[in-house]
Amino acid sequence: MDQWVVNAAEPYLLARFWAFVLGGEPVARPDGSRILRAKHDR
């Protein structure tokens, strides 16, 4: 993978990660959706 691709993708992935952790945003991962469902069950 080219370095500029990594540099462009990293802030986006970090933003998605923190949006999920702080705000319960859904993420495109099976384990992430399990965590999201668990948070909603409470």
Tell me the residue range of the domain where 19 lies: 3-41
| pLDDT at site 37 | 56
Q: Considering the entire predicted model, what is its pTM?
A: 0.34
* Degrees, nearest 5: CA angle 3-5-9: 120
Could you give the CA distance from residue 21 to residue 13 in angstroms, rounded to a whole number?
A: 12
Query: Which of 12, 30, 14 has its CA nearest to residue 22?
Result: 14
Highest mean pLDDT among 5-9, 15-19, 26-30, 38-42: 15-19
pLDDT at 36 exceeding the cut of 70: no
- Split into its structural domains, the chain has a count of 1
| pLDDT at site 9 | 73
- Alpha-carbon distance values, 17 to 2, 14, 27, 32 (Å): 22, 5, 8, 10
Provide the CB-side half-sphere exposure for 20 (13 A, CA).
17
Stretch 11-40: mean pLDDT, rounded?
Answer: 66
